[in-house]
Amino acid sequence: MNQNVKLPLPPYLGAAYYPEDWPEDEIDYDIAKMKEAGITAARIGEFAWKKMEPKPGQYDFGWLHKVVDKLGEAGIAVVMGTPTATPPKWLSNLHPDVMTINAGDRPASHGGRRHCCSNNPNYQKYSAKIVEAMAKEFGDDLAIIGWQIDNEIYAWDGCYCPHCQSQFREMLREKYKTIDALNEAWNLNLFSQAYDDFSEIPAPRDAWHNPHLRQEWMIFANDSHIRYVHMQADILHKYVKTGVPIGTDTMPFNGMDYRRLNEKLDVVQFNHYNEPQNEWQVCLWFDYLRQMRAHPFWNTETQTCWNGSTEIGQSIKPDGWCRVNSFLPLALGGEANMYWIWRTHWAGHELSHGSVLDASGRPMHTFGEVQQTSELFAKTADFINNTRVAAEVGFHYTSRNWNMHNTQTMVAGAANEKIPGFYKPLCDLGVRVDVIDACEDLSKYKMIVSPMMMTLEEGNLPARMEEWVKNGGVWVVGPLSDIRNAIGARYQHKPFGMLEELTGAKWLYGIPDREKRITATCTACGEALGSELWYDIWDEAPENTLAVVHGGHSAIDGKACIVERKVGQGRVILLGTFPDYNALKKLYAHALENAGVAYGASEGQLMVVPRAGETTSGLILVEYAGAGAAYTLDHPMRDIVAEKTVEGRLEIPPYGILVLEELKN
């Protein structure tokens, strides 16, 4: 281990580096180019199990030490990955049962990633051995600033091997206690589906399986990965020196309970490949991730230009987009942005992916933007490191509801993909939100939006929401919310779990409308809401009605579809449909005014991020759409990047970034 290491401080600009793919004499060249680009961190090791352990129990870390030492000597920090996502062929030769089995009973073959079952005892045994060997070898290495467990671990459809099916049945037995209790909870008298014993319960291979079975299967499959990650975390925590955070890089799929996943981890890690047209959507994830741990999250993967595997399905990105895409994680609460990949692979998988260097070692066209990003990180480092994002609005987004929509979506077209549409208008009003799960503390918020929360039965949320509203909170409840219990069953004697009882409003009907036969208009202004897909119809007095429906059927014509009720010192807005973007902005503005949350200083598509710390505070403005925007300050502030005082109306160019600090007295 090299003791002559002087590592950079956060925020980190990094890249994934695979020295095992290149001749050893290329390493010095790569490191020199990293320094030229302004790269301060390198992720290594995550796919190199075969090179670390060429034969069972025979470890070779000499080559990896050379890389870590060279990076450390150059002042480039290392994030070390455990290589368990790509087991070597000798493992499947020794133990063929380690391979995952798909719904059609076909085992995976060697040559992909994550092709071994996380519940298989042989895979677990050899995974634990390589992780422990690595931890002993590198746990106190001064060049390593963090660890990454595995890679993008997620269940997708799950594994159908005997180990998984057996453990799934045991999970059901532990949860429901008796088979009669399970039969009753799932209503298995329907279609004669009832079981006489837990051993009879199948893994859900067919689309027409009971939706409660499918939901429990997805939760079980992702929980299996959580246990597997936690097993590695326990090993690493024994050997890794104190203060070096351990995480696992996740993706924008919420079927896994990320709060529970990160309970044994120290830093939340996240990979995304958003593009200019959906750049705003990744901000929802950043607003979500920063709630998981006190440590700022790391954006461990994104592209410099385009994504691609064996072919490129994207186009060139506009000038400035790379810089904005790289800075948004920092603006929204992170302390690292890392590119996949440093140098494009020269053969094999993903050799068409964008990078910092081409496979030939020459800089890509975005190399200059990477350098600009590094300079921006350096200029804003003190402000970023000494402040945290400040938000007064919460936005519910939970793993259980994600799985419920995936296994029993109520209305075609109203699936998880619709949820970001409730997020964007808030952002474009200049409001920062914390995206929260059902367990998050509510006391710090003046307003909470709960879109498409099919079930509220998590974390004692109904009781806590009632108390929060009665104490003055403004709750905007989106459509298709509170209509199912925790396992996805409907309530037998009422349409909602709590909303009627809480508000006193009377619900009449729930109406699907995928062909736009119904229109809805605002009662105050008469403008159309541009709504679609679903309408909750309420029997409500005019003074509590914000929108009414027309057409569709005589039984609903003129009835309320959006209701506002005062509850204690607060209020609840029952949003019974999917309004278009402009209508939703107006409804949010009304709610924000009642909640006492400031908004409206921004023009255009602008991420507005208030930040506060013990010694300083300020505001970050990021134009994310490439169209230009404006923001009006009500008092002068210091522009950290331009090193000048600014005030009044600020014109922000396409992909412009402003980091503004309160003036010192």
Residue 633 has pLDDT above 90, yes or no: yes
Domain ranges of the chain: 12-152+244-384, 393-595, 602-662
- Predicted model pTM: 0.96
Q: pLDDT of 128-181, one tens digit each?
A: 999 999 999 999 999 999 999 999 999 998 999 999 999 999 999 999 999 999
Cβ–Cβ under 8 Å, residues 150 and 227: no
303 Cβ partners below 8 Å, 6+ apart? 273, 325, 339, 340, 353, 354
pLDDT at residue 1 in the model: 60
Whole-number average pLDDT of the chain: 96
CA-based angle 127:132:137, to the nearest 5? Answer: 130
Long-range CB contacts (within 8 A, 24+) of 129-132: 129/57, 130/49, 130/52, 130/53, 130/59, 130/82, 130/83, 130/84, 131/82, 131/84, 131/232, 131/235, 131/236, 132/235, 132/239
Whether the pLDDT of residue 3 is over 70: the answer is: no
pLDDT tens per residue across span 78-104? 999 999 999 999 999 999 999 999 999
Confidence of residue 399 (pLDDT cuts 50, 70, 90): very high
At the fourth CATH level, the homologous superfamily of domain 602-662 is: Golgi alpha-mannosidase II (2.60.40.1180)
| Contact predicate 297/289, CB 8 Å | yes
Q: How many beta carbons lie within 10 A of that of residue 504, not counting itself?
A: 13
- Residue 567 — very low, low, confident or very high, per pLDDT cuts 50/70/90? very high
**Architecture of the 393-595 domain:** 3-Layer(aba) Sandwich (3.40)
**Residue whose entry in the numeric block shows the structure tokens 């779990």:** 497
Per-residue pLDDT, averaged over 185-197, amounts to 95
pLDDT of the residue at 130? 98
Dist CA 280 CA 276 (whole Å): 8
pLDDT reading at 212 higher than 90: yes
pLDDT at 400 over 80: yes
What is the CATH code for 12-152+244-384?
3.20.20.80
